[in-house]
Amino acid sequence: MWYVMQVRTGREEETLSMVHQCAADSHMGVCFLPKYEQKKKFAGAWHLVQALLFPGYVFVETEEIEKFYMGLKQVPKLTKILGTGECWTSIIDEDLRVLERLLDEEKTVGMSTGFLEGDQVMIVDGPLMGLETVIRRIDRHKRKAMVEMHMFGRVQEVAVGLEIVGRA
């Protein structure tokens, strides 16, 4: 099951490193930071860079959240594992399916390529292919698409990389 830890924004990598140092045990499961690829222009050329898909959160894949939580007591600056009341809440199956479809083996959403047909976006390549209905808006200048996802108990928009190559 996948769980989510809320951490200080900007300290995700540091917190992930501390979790690996302090709670490195077989019961820990897998901790990771989902990322997305995007193209940015600097030094006169376009470069493929990675950014956090969910700033302020570290994801955990474990079947034993109780043992994992006990190991986390040694990690400073950890905010909390998301849940309701005294119970931790795993990511629901519907949201998990969308995430697993978008993420590759390195837990990264790759760049997608598409074109505009009138007001509609048609994706021809990449992880967004077949998910055109969840795209809420596009920033062609920044080569990003804002995708609607149900995460952390609410609907939120998440940025992913999208290159629009033209109009049909």
Number of domains in the chain: 1
DSSP 82: -
More confident residue, 7 or 87: 7
Lowest mean pLDDT: which of 34-38, 42-46, 48-52, 104-108? 42-46
Rounded CA-CA distance 75/118 in Å is 51
Count CB atoms within 10 A of the CB of residue 72: 19
Helices (H), 10-133: 12-22, 65-72, 93-102
Q: How far is CA 133 from CA 11, 15, 146, 155, in A?
A: 33, 34, 11, 15
Domain of residue 25, CATH code: 3.30.70.940
Does the pLDDT of residue 72 top 80, yes or no? no
Q: What is the pLDDT of residues 102-149, one digit of tens each?
A: 999 999 999 999 999 988 899 999 999 999 998 999 999 999 999 988
Domain that holds residue 61: 2-167
